[in-house]
Structure 1
Amino acid sequence: MTVPQARPTSIRIFLADGTPEGLRIVEKSNWTGRAVVANRSQFERALTRSEMAQPGVYVLTGLTEEGAAKLYVGEADALGERIKQHVAGKEFWTRAIAFTSTNEGLNKANVRYLEARLLALAKAANQWAVENTAYPAPPPLNEADIADAEWFLAEMLVIFPLLGIDAFESASSQADATSVESVEPPLTLHLNERGAKGTGKEITGGFVVLKGSLARAEETASIHEYMREQRQMLKARGVLALHEGQLVFTQDFRFSSPSTAAGVLVGGASNGRTAWKDASGKTLKALQDARLATL
């Protein structure tokens, strides 16, 4: 599949409380949608917003007990009333992002469709833990309504990463993507040390380890607890599977840094900037330094 090239756009984030981590309202140029973003501790303030009385789809984000990113996706006729039920019903979440329409363009069928599509994307990407236990099928819509809902969804997916949510985008799509600065996809890099053999790509804001990469099954005695938990989480979710004495990546997976990616592969601490190399043996550090030298 050809990944579309990113295009410049304008997004406005209004700080309703005047603070970066306070109540935020997010809008995008030429879009009828609007997002209300509130931390759990500020949710009472969010309930006073008129948007929260409207139909929409919402995402709750937080962490698992092991510290991995986790989310819950839902829909509601009245966003505020529904999310308020989760204050007592769900403990994990620390932030809510609620999407609605500024022109009353979302109805029950639309928001059910958006909920189903977001859940399907999160499941397929397998980047975050998902709190939902059911994955409903999209409701039947006519062709025009599906087109409208997909357009609304596409705009939501542009906004989510700005809020630190990359659960709906597969690592594969980022590894193959081009940007406005370059027509070439990210360079494939290689790691071959301590019995681990992996391939990956540096992307904006992280590093993708590619499907088929082999990680050591053993861990060093000095492995950091965070790294051990990362490996356990990946095994529990089927991203890492035991094969002939090694752990194989069953899908592309995105990490926050090249060092975290390298550490998971080798089962211990690793400097990703020197562990990852291109086909000619140049380290990621050397490649980064060379790019900076041309500016």
Structure 2
Amino acid sequence: MSQPFSLKIFVATGDPDGLRVVERSNWIGKAIVFPRPLLPTIKQREEFAQTGVYLLLGPRPDGDGEMIYIGEGDPVRPRLENHFSKKDFWTRAVFFVAGSGQLNKAHVQFLESQLIQRAKEAKRMPLENIKSENEPTLSEADRADMLVFLDHMLSMLPVLGVSAFELTRANDTNQVNATLLHCSGKGLKAQGYESNQGFVVKANSQASADLTQSMREQMHGIVDLRQDLISNEVLQRVGESYVFQQDYSFSSPSTAAAIVLGRSANGRTEWKDETGRSLKEIQTRQAGL
């Protein structure tokens, strides 16, 4: 079960979109978040001279959504300077460090490897890394410490606006009691539910192999998302339809329904429980309206 925690965010430049230093309660690590243009003026800060693991985020070449690069540095400053001059795509960065002597080269290589693996499993954002990093050998104690460090990082990242590592948690307490909903049409059947991460379509649900002409012409974002799901093998062709190979979280019920049905869809009315009540009806009753 996830435990409550608090974050302290220091807006170092006075600009909420500028440099932010983020610390978590009862943890040795901290996150540094900044937009790319600030690097030349903030790289003298002590955090940049420490060993850490970093994320670079920016728009995809097609302009729809973000992509991510994951790296490590001992220290992080020369690596970020190199990317500042040689990598064009990124517009913002996040990196994690700890107190003096708390992290070494093997530690951050381990964290980098784990994050790359996690991003590939989540399949939520294209990974700019060309190759996977081999996981270094750590002592049993160091590995246990770094897994705790990793867990704290992963719990902070969604709060910092980074969703690349979010896996659908099938055994999450908040999902156990969620109402199972169904979406059907054109001989297709899909199951899903609302969660804190968005709307989750369950593995083995079907999705249309065909798209309506209006969807192709007017819903480019959904069409591109669908192609990403096919490319990442979240959706695989089985007979006359596609089938979800894993639970997958969408930003809204309508996006999930559009992917399933291959057309524009209002998820609040398309997703229904076993009695035929729509999600909209269920939520209206829950709200006491």
- Pick the TM interval, shorter chain: over 0.9
Which residues in structure 2 correspond to 1:195-234 (within 5 Å)?
A: 195-223=187-215, 224-234=219-229
Equivalent residue, structure 2, for 1:128: 125
CA contact 1:23–1:37 (8 Å) conserved in 2: yes
Q: Which amino acid aligns with 1:80?
A: R
Shift of 1:219: 0.7
CA contact 1:177–1:185 (8 Å) conserved in 2: no
Find the aligned partners of 1:178 and 1:253 in 2 and give their Cα distance: 17
Equivalent residue, structure 1, for 2:36: 40
Deviation track 1:71-130 (CA, whole Å, cap 9, x = no partner) reads 111000011210111123222211110100024300111111111111111112222211
CA contact 2:50–2:100 (8 Å) conserved in 1: no
| Aligned positions, number | 285
Equivalent residue, structure 2, for 1:292: 287
CA contact 2:48–2:77 (8 Å) conserved in 1: yes
CA contact 1:32–1:103 (8 Å) conserved in 2: no
Which of 266, 274, 278 is matched with 1:271 structurally? 266
Equivalent residue, structure 1, for 2:236: 241
Find the aligned partners of 1:209 and 1:63 in 2 and give their Cα distance: 26
Of 152-161 and 199-208, the range deviating more from structure 2: 199-208
State the Cα RMSD in Å: 1.7
CA contact 1:217–1:247 (8 Å) conserved in 2: yes
Shift of 1:244: 0.7
CA contact 1:195–1:216 (8 Å) conserved in 2: no
SS in 1 for 2:68: strand
Deviation track 1:36-94 (CA, whole Å, cap 9, x = no partner) reads 00111222233132101111000111232231332111000011210111123222211
Equivalent residue, structure 2, for 1:80: 77
Q: Which amino acid aligns with 2:198?
A: G
Change (3 A) 1:22 1:232: same
Q: Which runs of 5+ in 1 are unaligned?
A: none
Could you tell me the TM-score, scaled by structure 2's length?
Answer: 0.93
Which residues in structure 2 correspond to 1:104-123 (within 5 Å)?
A: 104-123=101-120
Shift of 1:254: 1.4
Deviation track 1:185-231 (CA, whole Å, cap 9, x = no partner) reads 43221101244321112112411111111111111111111111111
Change (3 A) 1:205 1:126: closer
Q: Which amino acid aligns with 1:246?
A: S
Q: Which amino acid aligns with 2:4?
A: P
Q: Which amino acid aligns with 2:11?
A: L
Which of 5, 8, 13 is matched with 1:12 structurally? 8
Q: Which amino acid aligns with 2:263?
A: G
Change (3 A) 1:105 1:189: same
SS in 2 for 1:269: coil
CA contact 1:40–1:94 (8 Å) conserved in 2: yes
Find the aligned partners of 2:263 and 2:15 in 1 and give their Cα distance: 39
CA contact 1:58–1:99 (8 Å) conserved in 2: yes
Which residues in structure 2 correspond to 1:155-194 (within 5 Å)?
A: 155-171=152-168, 173=169, 175-179=170-174, 184-194=176-186
Find the aligned partners of 1:277 and 1:178 in 2 and give their Cα distance: 22
CA contact 1:53–1:79 (8 Å) conserved in 2: yes
Which residues in structure 2 correspond to 1:15-30 (within 5 Å)?
A: 15-30=11-26
Equivalent residue, structure 2, for 1:61: 57
Q: Which runs of 5+ in 2 are unaligned?
A: none
Q: Do structure 1's residue 260 and structure 2's residue 255 form an aligned pair?
A: yes
Equivalent residue, structure 1, for 2:89: 92
Could you tell me the TM-score, scaled by structure 1's length?
Answer: 0.91
SS in 1 for 2:16: coil
Of 224-233 and 42-51, the range deviating more from structure 2: 42-51
| Runs ≥4 residues deviating over 4 A | none
Q: Which amino acid aligns with 2:53?
A: V
Q: Which amino acid aligns with 2:250?
A: F
